Amino acid sequence: MTRQEFLDQVLSPLGRLTAQERENIRRELEEHVEDRMEALLDMGWEEALAESRCLEAMGDPAEIGREMAKQYRGKGWLWLGRAAVVLTVVVCIQALLGVGMLGAAWDSLTVRFNPPRTISIGELKNVEAEEELDIRAEIGNDILRIYQVSVGEKDGQRAAMVLACAYDRWPFGIVVDSLFSRSELWNERGETGTSGGGSGNSGAVCAALWAPVETGDTHVIWEYRAIGEAVRLEIPLPGGEEAA
């Protein structure tokens, strides 16, 4: 839904208003949208996405119009100021909760200190060795953190599973959702596995990647590639030759 369509639906039930009154309400709503968008644009959101999320956060435009129509019946401008104040409060609350800014920021902070330990780890059977890590790399505005490596069995072969998370440097920032889809895990012979799945939101994303390993292998390599950017990290296997 475009901004124009949203505003038209809000104003549709307000048939008894004068042209000037309708224009004042439209301008008031426009300012609310612009204020919410400005915060998201400062965080790096694209304009179209920021506008879409702000409109979603404001709620059902038809319902907003009906509630405003109730306030306007016989009340005139006495209710206009009150409705504007109430709408401002509602928009602020819904923008925070509907867009998920607070939840995303909380997840972004959580993975920095206590990332999840069970992402797809169930796919790795007969775990022989496991080790916590803290390997971090900058990818644009995001931070990739590799925090656990395990060796066990997957799909009938020996494999290393690496757990990682990604988050924006700023807690209210948005992590690139394609970071893990552009990442691969390689063994020393150039063989790779697939993503073990993942979860998260715009604030933080976690995932697991795996690669086949053999006795004597000492490390695997995490590689991220995008246009104009590449990151290559050597990840030691737990226990070196003894556990690998």
Say what the pLDDT of residue 144 is: 92
Question: What confidence score (pLDDT) does residue 242 get?
Answer: 39
112-128 pLDDT per residue, tens: 877 876 665 457 888 89
| Torsion angles phi and psi, residue 139, rounded to 5 | -130, 100
Stated pTM of the model? 0.57
Q: Which domains, ranges and CATH numbers included, belong to the chain?
A: 3-99 (no CATH), 109-236 (2.60.40)
- The sheet with strand 229-236 has its strands ordered as 183-186, 219-226, 229-236
Q: Where are the beta strands (DSSP E) in 140-188?
A: 142-154, 157-168, 183-186
* Consecutive H or E run containing 233: strand 229-236
Q: What is the pLDDT of residue 115?
A: 81
Contact between 210 and 219 under an 8 Å Cβ cutoff? The reply is no
Residues pairing with 135 in the sheet: 146
